[in-house]
């Protein structure tokens, strides 16, 4: 397996953590999205949607989209299951991962892209008001996550899953977006410490 990525970006980190949890060792090739490598003709030929990461199979099939790449890895290496085992658990994991993507990672990314000086030339137009609009969404989802973690060890229930990976990456991305975590979220803090201590978090 070959993964083409930019190691600094959050979606590539999701795939690296997922692969590390599975014990998979893809070959990683770096591009520089701040240098616009992902809009080169060669990259666009592989992924016209211009996002990293992408995965290249031995037969040259290219798969983009983080969750699609993770699904492939789950299929070739089912253990440990990170997408749920039976129909019920798979649906619950999917529900939580979608929540973590759409209600956590996405608004954090919008705050970063629309407020950080480093993104001024990449995010055109940069709309500071859109960054501001997303700040309370992050605060709201953190509260929801904290409430869920009061009753279960991990985001989607008793087991570590892709939903924890998405949430961990979003939580760390908050620092770059200059978003502070409210201090009264004790369950979130407990969970964050645990998942950050897993070896895969350093992948
Ligand atoms: N939906 C895609 C999103 C991919 C994406 O947006 N990747 C970011 C890095 S985290 C990127 O390539 N950004 C390029 C840019 O900023 O123009 C996925 O799940 O993989």
pLDDT tens column, 167-198: 999 999 999 999 999 889 999 999 999 999 99
pLDDT at position 199 is: 98
User: Nearest CA to 9 among 35, 29, 33?
Assistant: 33
Tens of pLDDT, residue by residue over 143-159, are: 999 999 999 999 999 99
- Cβ of 14 closer than 6 Å to ligand 1, yes or no, is no
* Closest C-alpha to ligand 1, atom 11: 51
* Closest C-alpha to ligand 1, atom 18: 65
Cα distances from 6 to residues 3, 10, 34, 36, 154, in angstroms, run 10, 9, 9, 11, 28
State in Å: Cα 151 to ligand 1 middle.
32
Please report which helix (H) or strand (E) contains residue 64, including its range. strand 62-64
Tokens of 133: 């609009």
pLDDT at position 148 is: 98
Transcribe 109-130 into DSSP letters: HHHHHHH-GGGTTTSSS--HHH
Looking only at the bridges linking them, the beta strands covering 2-5 and 54-56 are antiparallel
- Cβ of 108 closer than 6 Å to ligand 1, yes or no, is no
Ligand 1, pocket-test mutation among 52, 71, 169, most atoms within 8 A of CB: 52
- Which parts of the chain have pLDDT scores under 50? none
């Amino acid at each position: 397996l070959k993964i083409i990525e930019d190691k600094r970006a959050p979606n590539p980190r999701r795939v690296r953590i997922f692969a590390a949890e599975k014990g998979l060792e893809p070959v990683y090739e770096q591009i520089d999205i701040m240098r616009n490598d992902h809009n080169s003709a060669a990259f666009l030929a592989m992924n016209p949607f211009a996002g990293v990461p992408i995965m290249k199979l031995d037969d040259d099939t290219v798969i983009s989209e983080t969750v699609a790449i993770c699904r492939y890895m789950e299929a070739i290496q089912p253990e440990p299951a990170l997408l749920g085992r039976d129909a019920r658990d798979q649906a619950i994991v999917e529900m939580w991962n979608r929540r973590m993507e759409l209600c956590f990672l996405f608004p954090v990314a919008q705050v970063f892209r629309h407020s950080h000086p480093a993104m001024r030339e990449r995010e055109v137009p940069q709309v500071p008001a859109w960054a501001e609009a997303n700040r309370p969404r992050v605060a709201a989802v953190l509260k929801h996550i904290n409430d869920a973690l009061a009753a279960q060890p991990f985001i989607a229930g008793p087991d570590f899953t892709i939903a924890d990976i998405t949430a961990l990456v979003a939580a760390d991305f908050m620092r770059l977006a200059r978003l502070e975590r409210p201090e009264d979220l004790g369950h979130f803090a407990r969970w964050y410490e645990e998942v950050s201590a897993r070896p895969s978090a350093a992948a």
